[in-house]
């Protein structure tokens, strides 16, 4: 397969035969911003996320597995993990925990919104259930079993 521009051959590639959707990319033909991600791999993102916490690791894992081509998730993983520099690892971990409560596959936008709104600082423990006073209007088991008249 040849790519031509104004009659001049820019490049040529061997045609791939095999499964549908198969692709091969020459690194030199990629835009400069995409070339920087070639050096990264999923193991590097997973290792980095384990240093922050289990919730961050779960978010990174969900992003990496949500794309047909794993490399498409690298940019989102990088952006999420770099938020630890701005907010702190602890805040990022809590934000990832909250995002996982909302969705099993949270996005960068969800986590960024949680951090920006400060929802990572709220207590994660809900208020305990208040104890009923002895003068409350509750009926006991005897009432429902037909024992109390």
| pLDDT per position as a tens digit, 16-42 | 888 887 777 777 777 887 777 667 788
4 by DSSP, 3-state: which? strand
Fill in the DSSP letter of residue 72: G
Which DSSP string do the residues of 75-127 spell out, in sequence order? Answer: HHHHHHHHHHHHH-HHHHHHHHHHHHHH-SS--HHHHHHHHHHTGGGS-SSPP
Predicted local distance difference test score (pLDDT) of residue 18: 80
Predicted local distance difference test score (pLDDT) of residue 1: 82
Instruction: Write down the domain spans for the chain.
Output: 32-122
pLDDT tier for residue 123 given thresholds of 50, 70 and 90: low
Rounded Cα distance, 78 and 66, in Å: 15
Is the entire prediction scored with pTM above 0.85?
Answer: no
How much of the chain, in percent, has pLDDT values that exceed 70? Answer: 81
Fill in the DSSP letter of residue 22: -
Rounded Cα distance, 60 and 112, in Å: 14
């Amino acid at each position: 397969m040849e790519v031509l521009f104004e009659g001049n051959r820019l490049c040529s590639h061997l045609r791939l035969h095999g499964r549908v959707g198969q692709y091969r990319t020459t690194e030199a033909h990629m835009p400069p911003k995409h070339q920087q991600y070639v050096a990264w791999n999923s193991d590097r993102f997973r290792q980095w996320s384990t240093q922050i916490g289990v919730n961050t690791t779960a978010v990174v894992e969900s992003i990496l597995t949500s794309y047909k081509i794993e490399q498409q998730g690298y940019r989102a993983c990088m952006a999420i993990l770099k938020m630890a520099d701005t907010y702190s690892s602890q805040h990022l971990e809590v934000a990832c925990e909250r995002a996982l409560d909302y969705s099993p596959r949270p996005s960068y936008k969800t986590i960024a919104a949680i951090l920006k709104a400060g929802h990572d600082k709220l207590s994660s423990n809900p208020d305990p259930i208040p104890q009923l006073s002895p003068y409350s209007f509750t009926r006991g088991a005897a009432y429902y079993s037909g024992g109390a008249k």
